[in-house]
Structure 1
């Protein structure tokens, strides 16, 4: 990138991988890195990556698919220098109704899938002796939420995963951090009724939902030169909803 790069961004384009980047928060993150001039790959299960990105099909519950996606990205763009693990699913229901499949599918995608991605990305980053791993969690992982014991457990697990990686990989200049969004204006929240949306806003000190670009700003900062000494952190982007956690 040129010397006129926006404040807080790197001057040299990096290879960035954003999983689940075809909509919502993931799409905003991918677009933010593209705007900085980085070389961005996006993995999805069904396509639809943003313009200017390398669209790679990948199911994070399949280790072979993860390995194949990284091979494609490395061949097309180069080794992954920034990993943003955003892909996630929900299967909400109260615990007495929650099936084994409801539990295992959410854990396998949100937590074990992130483990697969981080493990594969770390191989290349260790060779480079630098890298940024950013995991997208949720305020629910810190506060809990009725009907979401599987989702909350998976998102809480990302914190332990990230902090362990921060300690393992830090000596090689690889940082690992977590961004924990609150309620964000996406397709997932658009289906809520006006009454539900109003009730949620009353819980948020800032009195509104986040825009996906506000989450993306936290992610790009963690990947920037300005955050080189930040690792093992959990950055809330929740309007104050989870403060104290």
Structure 2
């Protein structure tokens, strides 16, 4: 692990997985098969591989099925009985677990299965460097940047905790970050998947095709 002051890490990663999957047209998108594993399992595996701290999965819709799908993964499952009231309720459920001394919370989305572990780690490393005074001062959050735009996941520093606890409805951290652009660290990554979610059958088909291509590239000689 990076040699940063001990009070800057570990940072928990909350994966939001409580939504109703309305755009998928019936089945829970997070449980859809993607190369032999549920969509959500890919997101969880990347967060675990990034190794920045404990991984919490916030569940609501079809919670027991989601819990069963993740039985083999060393994560903490967090129930959100209010998930029908919007994204903010899952963030608040995660915030209820954040230790008082934690320097931040990584917020990731369960329907973004192609985001790489290296991307999660890069956002974490950038935030730690900033907080250690090695880069831009005054940073309260960090997120990845690729292909000219910002994406997910987002690392929210402790300075944002009160605002996160006050979120309501279907609002996430995005609006908070847009209101404080000078305090947001944009971390350049080579990962276009920071913009790709699996919200409907066509997006799932594209994810399959992308993973097929990634596997072919790994097998290619040289």
TM-score between both structures, scaled by the size of structure 1: 0.36
Higher helix share: 1
TM-score between both structures, scaled by the size of structure 2: 0.39
Higher RCO (CA 8 Å, separation ≥ 6 residues): 2
